[in-house]
Chain A
Protein backbone atom coordinates (compact mmCIF):
# COMPACT_ATOMS: atom_id res chain seq x y z
CA UNK A 1 0.00 0.00 0.00
CA UNK A 2 2.94 2.30 0.56
CA UNK A 3 3.54 2.26 -3.19
CA UNK A 4 0.02 3.52 -3.69
CA UNK A 5 0.56 6.63 -1.56
CA UNK A 6 3.95 7.24 -3.12
CA UNK A 7 2.53 7.03 -6.65
CA UNK A 8 -0.28 9.38 -5.67
CA UNK A 9 2.06 12.01 -4.28
CA UNK A 10 4.71 11.70 -6.95
CA UNK A 11 2.27 11.85 -9.85
CA UNK A 12 0.59 14.99 -8.49
CA UNK A 13 3.92 16.77 -8.06
CA UNK A 14 4.96 15.62 -11.54
CA UNK A 15 1.75 16.96 -13.11
CA UNK A 16 2.19 20.25 -11.23
CA UNK A 17 5.77 20.65 -12.43
CA UNK A 18 4.81 19.80 -16.01
CA UNK A 19 1.98 22.35 -15.97
CA UNK A 20 4.32 24.96 -14.50
CA UNK A 21 6.94 24.33 -17.17
CA UNK A 22 4.23 24.53 -19.83
CA UNK A 23 2.98 27.86 -18.49
CA UNK A 24 6.53 29.21 -18.39
CA UNK A 25 7.15 28.03 -21.93
CA UNK A 26 4.06 29.66 -23.43
CA UNK A 27 3.84 32.86 -21.37
CA UNK A 28 7.56 33.46 -20.75
CA UNK A 29 7.03 33.83 -16.99
CA UNK A 30 10.11 31.90 -15.86
CA UNK A 31 10.44 30.85 -13.08
CA UNK A 32 7.16 31.86 -11.46
CA UNK A 33 4.90 29.39 -13.24
CA UNK A 34 7.09 26.47 -12.17
CA UNK A 35 7.36 27.68 -8.57
CA UNK A 36 3.66 28.31 -8.10
CA UNK A 37 2.43 25.21 -9.93
CA UNK A 38 4.90 23.04 -8.05
CA UNK A 39 3.44 24.32 -4.77
CA UNK A 40 -0.02 23.46 -6.06
CA UNK A 41 1.27 20.08 -7.16
CA UNK A 42 2.62 19.31 -3.69
CA UNK A 43 -0.67 20.43 -2.14
CA UNK A 44 -2.58 18.24 -4.59
CA UNK A 45 -0.26 15.35 -3.72
CA UNK A 46 -1.00 15.66 -0.01
CA UNK A 47 -4.73 15.88 -0.77
CA UNK A 48 -4.38 12.81 -2.98
CA UNK A 49 -2.71 10.80 -0.21
CA UNK A 50 -5.48 11.75 2.25
CA UNK A 51 -8.12 10.79 -0.32
CA UNK A 52 -6.39 7.52 -1.12
CA UNK A 53 -6.44 6.62 2.56
CA UNK A 54 -10.13 7.52 2.83
CA UNK A 55 -11.07 5.61 -0.34
CA UNK A 56 -9.36 2.47 0.88
CA UNK A 57 -10.89 2.58 4.36
CA UNK A 58 -14.32 3.23 2.82
CA UNK A 59 -13.85 0.34 0.43
CA UNK A 60 -12.80 -1.97 3.26
CA UNK A 61 -15.90 -1.23 5.35
CA UNK A 62 -18.69 0.46 3.37
CA UNK A 63 -20.85 0.60 6.50
CA UNK A 64 -18.62 3.43 7.76
CA UNK A 65 -19.58 5.76 4.88
CA UNK A 66 -23.38 6.17 4.76
CA UNK A 67 -23.14 8.80 1.99
CA UNK A 68 -21.95 6.32 -0.61
CA UNK A 69 -24.39 3.45 -0.28
CA UNK A 70 -26.33 4.61 -3.35
CA UNK A 71 -29.69 4.88 -1.60
CA UNK A 72 -29.25 8.64 -1.23
CA UNK A 73 -31.24 10.27 -4.06
CA UNK A 74 -30.27 13.90 -3.48
CA UNK A 75 -26.60 13.26 -3.95
Chain B
Protein backbone atom coordinates (compact mmCIF):
# COMPACT_ATOMS: atom_id res chain seq x y z
CA UNK B 1 0.00 0.00 0.00
CA UNK B 2 2.68 2.42 1.07
CA UNK B 3 4.89 1.40 -1.81
CA UNK B 4 2.13 2.11 -4.27
CA UNK B 5 1.61 5.64 -3.00
CA UNK B 6 5.31 6.39 -2.78
CA UNK B 7 5.64 5.24 -6.37
CA UNK B 8 2.72 7.40 -7.46
CA UNK B 9 4.04 10.43 -5.56
CA UNK B 10 7.56 10.31 -6.99
CA UNK B 11 7.65 13.76 -8.61
CA UNK B 12 10.29 12.83 -11.20
CA UNK B 13 8.49 9.79 -12.55
CA UNK B 14 6.37 11.87 -14.92
CA UNK B 15 9.48 12.95 -16.84
CA UNK B 16 10.67 9.45 -17.66
CA UNK B 17 10.94 8.69 -21.35
CA UNK B 18 9.43 5.30 -22.10
CA UNK B 19 9.46 3.33 -25.30
CA UNK B 20 6.01 2.71 -26.70
CA UNK B 21 7.23 0.36 -29.38
CA UNK B 22 10.62 -0.65 -30.66
CA UNK B 23 11.97 0.29 -34.04
CA UNK B 24 15.12 -1.09 -35.68
CA UNK B 25 18.15 1.18 -35.08
CA UNK B 26 19.02 3.67 -37.82
CA UNK B 27 22.75 4.33 -38.40
CA UNK B 28 23.42 2.90 -34.95
CA UNK B 29 20.94 5.24 -33.24
CA UNK B 30 17.98 3.99 -31.26
CA UNK B 31 14.93 5.54 -32.93
CA UNK B 32 12.24 3.68 -30.99
CA UNK B 33 8.92 5.48 -30.76
CA UNK B 34 8.83 6.97 -27.23
CA UNK B 35 6.13 8.77 -25.28
CA UNK B 36 7.97 12.05 -26.01
CA UNK B 37 7.65 11.44 -29.74
CA UNK B 38 4.06 10.34 -29.28
CA UNK B 39 2.97 13.46 -27.41
CA UNK B 40 4.82 15.73 -29.85
CA UNK B 41 3.00 14.01 -32.68
CA UNK B 42 -0.29 14.42 -30.79
CA UNK B 43 0.38 18.15 -30.44
CA UNK B 44 1.12 18.50 -34.15
CA UNK B 45 -1.96 16.51 -35.12
CA UNK B 46 -4.21 18.54 -32.78
CA UNK B 47 -2.72 21.76 -34.15
CA UNK B 48 -3.35 20.73 -37.74
CA UNK B 49 -6.86 19.54 -36.90
CA UNK B 50 -7.70 22.77 -35.07
CA UNK B 51 -6.46 25.14 -37.76
CA UNK B 52 -7.64 22.86 -40.55
CA UNK B 53 -11.15 23.01 -39.12
CA UNK B 54 -10.93 26.74 -38.29
CA UNK B 55 -9.84 27.61 -41.82
CA UNK B 56 -11.98 25.08 -43.70
CA UNK B 57 -15.18 27.12 -43.89
CA UNK B 58 -14.32 30.79 -44.15
CA UNK B 59 -17.57 32.40 -43.15
CA UNK B 60 -17.97 36.17 -42.96
CA UNK B 61 -19.56 35.75 -39.57
CA UNK B 62 -17.17 33.25 -37.96
CA UNK B 63 -18.26 30.51 -35.60
CA UNK B 64 -16.38 29.97 -32.33
CA UNK B 65 -13.53 27.82 -33.63
CA UNK B 66 -12.98 29.99 -36.66
CA UNK B 67 -12.75 33.15 -34.57
CA UNK B 68 -10.33 31.39 -32.22
CA UNK B 69 -8.13 30.61 -35.21
CA UNK B 70 -8.42 34.18 -36.45
CA UNK B 71 -7.50 35.58 -33.02
CA UNK B 72 -4.46 33.29 -32.94
CA UNK B 73 -3.40 34.49 -36.38
CA UNK B 74 -3.86 38.15 -35.46
CA UNK B 75 -2.07 37.71 -32.14
CA UNK B 76 1.08 36.30 -33.72
CA UNK B 77 1.00 38.79 -36.60
CA UNK B 78 0.72 41.73 -34.17
CA UNK B 79 3.53 40.31 -32.06
CA UNK B 80 5.85 40.18 -35.10
CA UNK B 81 4.84 43.67 -36.28
CA UNK B 82 5.45 45.10 -32.82
CA UNK B 83 8.96 43.68 -32.42
CA UNK B 84 10.46 43.10 -35.88
CA UNK B 85 8.35 45.45 -38.03
CA UNK B 86 6.50 44.74 -41.29
CA UNK B 87 9.60 43.09 -42.75
CA UNK B 88 9.49 40.50 -40.01
CA UNK B 89 6.22 39.16 -41.40
CA UNK B 90 8.20 37.02 -43.84
CA UNK B 91 8.97 34.88 -40.79
CA UNK B 92 5.29 34.66 -39.88
CA UNK B 93 4.95 30.93 -40.74
CA UNK B 94 7.98 30.05 -38.62
CA UNK B 95 6.98 32.07 -35.54
CA UNK B 96 3.35 30.94 -35.85
CA UNK B 97 4.36 27.27 -35.99
CA UNK B 98 6.79 27.66 -33.11
CA UNK B 99 4.25 29.44 -30.90
CA UNK B 100 1.45 26.95 -31.45
CA UNK B 101 3.71 23.91 -31.22
CA UNK B 102 4.95 25.03 -27.79
CA UNK B 103 1.50 26.15 -26.65
CA UNK B 104 -0.07 22.81 -27.60
CA UNK B 105 2.79 20.85 -26.02
CA UNK B 106 2.45 22.84 -22.77
CA UNK B 107 -1.33 22.58 -22.57
CA UNK B 108 -1.36 18.87 -23.44
CA UNK B 109 1.19 18.42 -20.64
CA UNK B 110 -1.33 19.91 -18.22
CA UNK B 111 -3.82 17.08 -18.67
CA UNK B 112 -3.45 14.16 -16.23
CA UNK B 113 -1.21 11.24 -17.28
CA UNK B 114 0.14 13.27 -20.20
CA UNK B 115 3.83 13.71 -20.89
CA UNK B 116 5.16 17.28 -21.14
CA UNK B 117 7.56 17.32 -24.08
CA UNK B 118 8.71 20.88 -23.35
CA UNK B 119 9.96 19.81 -19.91
CA UNK B 120 12.92 18.13 -21.60
CA UNK B 121 16.00 20.22 -22.33
CA UNK B 122 16.70 18.32 -25.55
CA UNK B 123 13.38 19.46 -27.07
CA UNK B 124 13.61 23.11 -26.04
CA UNK B 125 17.34 23.15 -26.82
CA UNK B 126 16.72 21.95 -30.34
CA UNK B 127 14.00 24.58 -30.85
CA UNK B 128 16.37 27.30 -29.58
CA UNK B 129 19.17 26.05 -31.84
CA UNK B 130 16.77 26.14 -34.78
CA UNK B 131 15.87 29.75 -33.98
CA UNK B 132 19.47 30.89 -33.59
CA UNK B 133 20.61 29.07 -36.75
CA UNK B 134 17.89 30.84 -38.72
CA UNK B 135 18.99 34.17 -37.22
CA UNK B 136 22.65 33.57 -38.16
CA UNK B 137 22.03 32.11 -41.63
CA UNK B 138 19.42 34.68 -42.59
CA UNK B 139 21.44 37.55 -41.09
CA UNK B 140 24.56 36.57 -43.03
CA UNK B 141 22.59 35.97 -46.23
CA UNK B 142 20.77 39.30 -46.08
CA UNK B 143 23.43 41.62 -44.63
CA UNK B 144 26.66 39.84 -45.52
CA UNK B 145 29.53 40.80 -43.26
CA UNK B 146 27.53 43.77 -41.95
CA UNK B 147 25.75 41.22 -39.78
CA UNK B 148 28.80 41.23 -37.51
CA UNK B 149 28.04 44.89 -36.83
CA UNK B 150 25.68 43.33 -34.28
CA UNK B 151 28.72 42.81 -32.06
CA UNK B 152 30.07 46.36 -32.49
CA UNK B 153 27.38 48.99 -31.94
CA UNK B 154 28.19 52.38 -33.49
CA UNK B 155 29.65 54.86 -31.02
CA UNK B 156 29.30 58.10 -32.95
CA UNK B 157 32.08 60.68 -33.04
CA UNK B 158 34.95 59.74 -30.79
CA UNK B 159 38.72 59.60 -30.76
CA UNK B 160 40.05 56.44 -32.44
CA UNK B 161 41.91 55.38 -29.30
CA UNK B 162 38.80 55.72 -27.17
CA UNK B 163 36.84 53.64 -29.68
CA UNK B 164 39.50 50.94 -29.60
CA UNK B 165 39.41 50.72 -25.80
CA UNK B 166 35.62 50.57 -25.68
CA UNK B 167 35.42 47.95 -28.44
CA UNK B 168 38.02 45.82 -26.68
CA UNK B 169 35.59 45.57 -23.76
CA UNK B 170 32.30 45.71 -25.63
CA UNK B 171 32.86 43.13 -28.37
CA UNK B 172 33.59 40.18 -26.02
CA UNK B 173 30.54 41.15 -23.95
CA UNK B 174 28.32 41.27 -27.01
CA UNK B 175 29.66 37.94 -28.30
CA UNK B 176 29.04 36.27 -24.94
CA UNK B 177 25.53 37.64 -24.70
CA UNK B 178 24.84 36.44 -28.26
CA UNK B 179 26.02 32.92 -27.46
CA UNK B 180 24.01 32.97 -24.23
CA UNK B 181 20.79 33.65 -26.16
CA UNK B 182 19.93 30.13 -27.34
CA UNK B 183 20.94 28.88 -23.90
CA UNK B 184 18.56 31.19 -22.06
CA UNK B 185 15.82 30.59 -24.62
CA UNK B 186 16.00 26.82 -24.08
CA UNK B 187 16.66 26.99 -20.34
CA UNK B 188 13.73 29.26 -19.52
CA UNK B 189 11.03 27.15 -21.14
CA UNK B 190 12.55 23.92 -19.83
CA UNK B 191 13.01 25.20 -16.25
CA UNK B 192 9.52 26.69 -16.06
CA UNK B 193 7.79 23.52 -17.22
CA UNK B 194 9.97 21.22 -15.12
CA UNK B 195 9.61 23.25 -11.91
CA UNK B 196 5.87 23.72 -12.37
CA UNK B 197 5.16 20.05 -12.95
CA UNK B 198 7.33 18.93 -10.03
CA UNK B 199 5.47 21.35 -7.74
CA UNK B 200 2.08 20.12 -8.94
CA UNK B 201 3.05 16.52 -8.34
CA UNK B 202 4.54 17.31 -4.92
CA UNK B 203 1.44 19.03 -3.58
CA UNK B 204 -0.84 16.38 -5.01
CA UNK B 205 1.42 13.76 -3.39
CA UNK B 206 1.20 15.55 -0.02
CA UNK B 207 -2.57 15.42 -0.18
CA UNK B 208 -2.61 11.68 -0.88
CA UNK B 209 0.01 10.71 1.70
CA UNK B 210 -1.60 13.05 4.25
CA UNK B 211 -4.91 11.22 4.00
CA UNK B 212 -3.35 7.75 4.13
CA UNK B 213 -1.10 8.68 7.07
CA UNK B 214 -4.05 9.91 9.16
CA UNK B 215 -3.55 11.97 12.36
CA UNK B 216 -2.01 15.33 11.64
CA UNK B 217 -1.84 14.35 7.98
CA UNK B 218 -5.62 14.85 7.79
CA UNK B 219 -5.02 18.52 8.65
CA UNK B 220 -2.27 18.92 6.06
CA UNK B 221 -4.07 17.16 3.22
CA UNK B 222 -6.78 19.80 2.50
CA UNK B 223 -4.17 22.58 2.58
CA UNK B 224 -1.96 20.72 0.13
CA UNK B 225 -4.97 19.96 -2.05
CA UNK B 226 -6.01 23.63 -2.14
CA UNK B 227 -2.44 24.59 -3.00
CA UNK B 228 -2.47 22.03 -5.81
CA UNK B 229 -5.65 23.52 -7.25
CA UNK B 230 -4.19 27.04 -7.12
CA UNK B 231 -0.94 25.85 -8.70
CA UNK B 232 -2.91 24.16 -11.46
CA UNK B 233 -4.38 27.52 -12.44
CA UNK B 234 -0.94 29.13 -12.25
CA UNK B 235 0.51 26.39 -14.46
CA UNK B 236 -2.05 27.09 -17.17
CA UNK B 237 -0.93 30.72 -17.08
CA UNK B 238 2.72 29.64 -17.28
CA UNK B 239 1.95 27.31 -20.20
CA UNK B 240 0.57 30.17 -22.26
CA UNK B 241 3.06 32.75 -21.04
CA UNK B 242 6.14 30.67 -21.79
CA UNK B 243 4.95 29.94 -25.33
CA UNK B 244 4.43 33.69 -25.74
CA UNK B 245 7.85 34.56 -24.28
CA UNK B 246 9.57 32.03 -26.54
CA UNK B 247 7.82 33.41 -29.61
CA UNK B 248 8.42 37.07 -28.77
CA UNK B 249 12.12 36.50 -28.07
CA UNK B 250 12.36 34.72 -31.42
CA UNK B 251 10.91 37.89 -32.97
CA UNK B 252 13.41 40.07 -31.10
CA UNK B 253 16.33 37.94 -32.33
CA UNK B 254 14.95 37.89 -35.88
CA UNK B 255 14.78 41.69 -35.65
CA UNK B 256 18.55 41.65 -35.04
CA UNK B 257 19.02 39.57 -38.17
CA UNK B 258 16.85 41.97 -40.19
CA UNK B 259 18.38 45.19 -38.83
CA UNK B 260 21.80 44.35 -37.34
CA UNK B 261 22.97 47.89 -36.59
CA UNK B 262 21.50 49.20 -33.38
A residues sitting closer than 8 Å to B (CB atoms) are: 3-4, 7-8, 10-12, 14-16, 19, 37, 40-41, 43-45, 47-48, 51, 55, 58-59, 62, 68-72, 75
Contacts and interface: CB of A to CB of B under 8 A. Distances in A.
A12 B177 CA distance: 6
Given A41-B176, A48-B180, A58-B83, 15 more contacts: A3-B195, A11-B180, A11-B184, A12-B176, A14-B180, A15-B176, A15-B183, A40-B173, A43-B169, A43-B173, A44-B173, A45-B177, A62-B83, A68-B85, A69-B85
Contacts of B172: 37, 40, 44
Interface of B: 79, 81-88, 169, 172-174, 176-177, 179-180, 183-184, 187-188, 191-192, 195, 245, 248-249, 252, 255, 259
Contacts of A3: 188, 191-192, 195
Looking at chain A's contact residues, is the secondary structure mostly helix, strand, loop, or mixed? Answer: helix
**Which secondary structure dominates where chain B touches chain A?**
helix
A19 B178 CA distance: 13
A5 B112 CA distance: 30
Contact of B88 (A58, A70, A71): A70
A73 to B, nearest CB: 10
